[in-house]
Structure formats: structure tokens, C-alpha cells
Amino acid sequence: MDSIRITGGNELHGVIPISGAKNAALPLMIAALLTDETLTLSNVPRLRDVAQLSHILSNHGVDYAVNGKRNGQHALAGQTISLTAREIVDTTAPYELVSKMRASFWVIGPMVARMHEARVSLPGGCAIGTRPVDFFIEGLTALGAEIEIEGGYVVVRAPGGLKGARVEFPKVSVGATHTIMMAATLADGETEIVNAAREPEVVDLAKCLRAMGAQIEGEGTSVIRIQGVKRLHGAHHAVLPDRIETGTYAMAVAMTGGDVLLQGARGDLLDTALETLRQTGAQITETAEGIKVYRNGNGIQPVDVTTEPFPGFPTDLQAQFMALMTMAGGSSRITETIFENRFMHVQELARLGAQIHVDGHTATVDGVSTLRGAPVMATDLRASVSLVIAGLAAKGETTVSRVYHLDRGFERLEDKLTHCGANIQRISA
Ligand code: EPZ
């Protein structure tokens, strides 16, 4: 298995192009199931999760084409893909595929909306917690679907089609909002989603669905209204920039010191995280080209954070921020409120010399002046990248194993960092 070897201590200077957002690309690809015409998506990141989802969608009968590069296109530009679900040949999403990527469960919404039936494997637990699907089941039931759990599968039928309804989530869920919004586009009548997720990726999906002919309003607020239509058509949509990749590299610069332009990044997608970084002492300016992050020789100030749904501090940046806080000049408290088990990076950061004490959902981080390189590994994507950030700032050599986690969500991570002066290589086993 590949690993990443980092010799820490270099500042980062230069330009990092920000890729399209993984967590927008995935639901956008799934939206292709709603129409028999072609959905073309540009700025799609080249990631393992995207490849895995294309495989899952092919199983349902979706034709997937990656368009070639155009003249004058930047070598690092995201890919343009075309998805055509002319005919859905199989309404079953099998366990072998769904268990590899949780977001593939979301096909249940478009499939039942268009085919009036679906059989989708329960995704199972994952490294960051149990992650149930009760909101999806309650939401689809409210839209008139009949649901049974059979042999580990959610079997959903809506013989006369889905009917618009009021769906109120007990807690904000990104995936349940994506799924019910997609399902409601083809339902009969109006659906109102209350306590909807306000994440930028939900807004991006709503924009794409509207370009496909859906009638949606209120995305980006906690009430989304969808007026069902008879059919959707093809469209072209560009995936928005990845706010988590943006925040990750911003935290890397805040930790190592240096001066980097995060090209194509949009500050409005991560205001809270950028404001938190400013409080740690990093200077952040937004320009027409992207976001500039700068930290000179000054120390890192400790700052407390609590993860929250958007527009709060994102859970997907919690591990990276904890890495930064391990070298702050004092103590900080980091509270995770979204997932029950998202502190697996703590023990690995401790291997680099970090001082962290976990009590329930809160980690207290006592900053140290030096981290020292060590072999580490992680069990999820964001935890893995937090170890990369810490390794960039640590003295000596850090080896991060289980790199396949990073490949799920960070496009050409080592190339982007090498271009800014990091000493980082992938070692093929
Ligand atoms: C999305 O996951 C993201 N994944 C996650 O990013 C992200 O951490 C998460 O939203 C929160 O922002 C993708 O977009 C592909 P949720 P999702 O439903 O939709 C509970 C990454 O690293 N819940 O918003 O699966 C759930 O257990 C990934 O890129 C229920 O109880 O998350 C959690 O506590 C990791 N019942 C909370 O809601 C349900 O039916 C929020 O989860 C659904 C969710």
C-alpha cells in the first residue's frame, strides 16, 4: 500500500489551485439519474470517490464519459464529465458498492422519484460513527413511499409516484437534504423541507437541478420549497470550489508559515473557518484570483472551536484545525458536535508529540513548541490530511500510511504541496 513521506520544517510559498468540491460533485453526479438526457458537469475533481460513484452509477445504466482536454485548458483544470441515464436498467444498489462509499445511498431519492421503486443497501457504520439513515426513510415515507427493510436493504416503492409533502428533519443532515430535494423534483405537488442543510453543496445541487428544469426556492436557508415537475432535462453545470480543500491548505500555511495563494477559492464558502484562522494569527485576504494566506514568524494563537452545520465551523476541518492547535502558544478546546467518533486523529497526533486530552466530545489541546516526525496512519480522509499538515510542520520525517483515504478526497495533494516548497513524496509499496 502506498504511503506519503514528509520531511517537515519547510514554509509553504506559491500558488495552490483549488479543485472542484468532492461533496458537491457526488450529489450532482447522482442527480443525473433524474433525467434521460445528458447532464454535463465541469470542474469535477479527479478523486477515488468520483471514480467509485461513476462505477456505481454505471451499474444502474448510466453512461459515463470523461471529455478530453480542450486547447488552452490549464493542465490542472478539473475534468468535464457527461452522464446519461437514458434508461435505468437496475434499481438495486448492492451492498458491495454502497458499503464502499456512503454517499451512494443517496441514489435512493432520484431512483424512487423516476422509477417508483428502489432497493438500496443500508450503508453500515463508518469510521466516524454509526451514521443512521432514519431521516431518509422518514422523509421518503412523508412523500408517500412505502418502505421495508429486507435483508440489509431498504426497499422503497411508490406505485403511483411520490407526492409532495412537508418534511421536517429533527437535525440538520446534508445527505438527507440532498436526497429529499432530488426526490421532490419529480413528485406530484409541493414539498417543503424544514430544518434543511444550508451547506454550499446543497445550494450547488439546487442550482444544477434548476438548470435541469426543477422548481426550487429557498436553498441556502433552512426552508427549501420544491414544486414537482413531470420531467427534468439535460443541463451543464460547473462544480463549485472545494471549501474543505481550501480550509485544509489555509491551515497548512498557518501552521508551517509562508505565503500561498489558494487559486479559485471562494471565501464566502468558509467565512467561519477563515475568521477562526485570522484569530490564530494568520493573515487572510480575498482577491479576485482566490484567497491569500500568510503567516510570518509570529506564533500561533490558541482558539476554541465547536463544529456546527453551515455556516458554523465545519466538522470536515476539525482534524486539520486540531493539527494547527497542537503548536499554538497555549491551550484550546475543540468540540465536535456533528459526529460521535471523530477524534481518531488524536492518538496519531500524539505520536508526533502533540498533547491532547479528550473528554467526551471535547478535546483540550495544549500547544507544544515542536512536533517530531513519526510513522502514523488514519482511518478517514480528514484525519489523514491532518497528519499530513502536522508532518509538514514537524521536525524530521513523518510517514503517513493508508494513503487511499487521502486519494478519496484530495486531488494531487503531494504535487500541490511540492509546488509550494514542501518536501513530500508518495512511496509506492
Ligand atoms: C456529509 O455527510 C458529508 N459527506 C460529510 O463529509 C460531512 O462531514 C457531513 O455532511 C457533515 O457536514 C458528503 O457530502 C459526501 P449528515 P452526511 O447527514 O450527509 C446524523 C468528508 O470527509 N444523521 O449531514 O452523511 C448523522 O449521523 C465527509 O468529506 C442521522 O442521525 O452527514 C450525523 O450525526 C465525512 N440520521 C448528522 O446527522 C440520518 O438519517 C449529520 O450528518 C442522517 C444523518
For residue 102, which atom of ligand 1 is closest to its CA? 25
pLDDT category of residue 128 using cuts at 50, 70 and 90: low
CA distance 274 to 270: 6
CA-to-CA dists, residue 333 to 318, 322, 325, 330, 352, angstroms: 11, 9, 9, 10, 19
The arithmetic mean of pLDDT across residues 121-143, rounded, is 85
The Cβ of residue 160 has, within 10 Å, a number of other Cβ atoms equal to 8
Among the listed residues 355, 245, 340, 238, the one whose alpha carbon sits nearest the alpha carbon of residue 302: 355
CA distance 44 to 66: 10
Cell, residue 242: 472545494
User: Hey, whose CA ends up nearest to atom 26 of ligand 1?
Assistant: 131
For residue 338, which atom of ligand 1 is closest to its CA? 34
Q: What residues contact 10, with CB distance under 8 A and at least 6 apart?
A: 256, 392, 421, 422, 423
pLDDT in tens, 407-418: 999 999 999 999
pLDDT at 404: 86
Give me ligand 1 centre to Cα 110, in Å. 19
Decide if 144 contacts 191 (C-beta within 8 A).
no
Cell, residue 392: 509538514
Cell, residue 399: 510517514
Pocket of ligand 1 (CB under 6 A): 23, 26, 102-103, 129, 131-136, 171, 173-176, 315-316, 338-339, 381-382, 409
Q: Which domains does the chain have, with CATH numbers?
A: 3-18+241-427 (3.65.10.10), 22-238 (3.65.10.10)
pLDDT above 70 (res 276): yes
DSSP secondary structure code for residue 104 in this structure:
G
pLDDT in tens, 226-250: 999 999 999 999 999 999 999 999 9
Phi and psi at residue 293, in whole multiples of 5°? -120, 135
The Cβ of residue 296 has, within 10 Å, a number of other Cβ atoms equal to 11
Task: Give the dihedral of Cα atoms 9, 291, 349, 397; nearest 10 deg.
Answer: -30
For residue 314, which atom of ligand 1 is closest to its CA? 12
The Cβ of residue 97 has, within 10 Å, a number of other Cβ atoms equal to 19
User: Hey, whose CA ends up nearest to atom 43 of ligand 1?
Assistant: 133
Q: The dihedral of CA 394, 400, 405, 410: what is its sign?
A: positive
Decide if 147 contacts 117 (C-beta within 8 A).
no
The arithmetic mean of pLDDT across residues 42-46, rounded, is 96
Count the residues in the chain. 429
The pTM of this model reads 0.97
CA distance 330 to 314: 23
Percent of the chain with pLDDT over 70: 97
pLDDT in tens, 53-94: 999 999 999 999 998 766 666 666 789 999 999 999 999 999
What is the 3-state secondary structure of 188-224?
A: ECEEEEECCCCCHHHHHHHHHHHHCCCEEECECECEE
Residue matched to cell numbers 446519461:
84
CA distance 41 to 27: 11
Catalytic choice (76, 77, 115, 126): 126
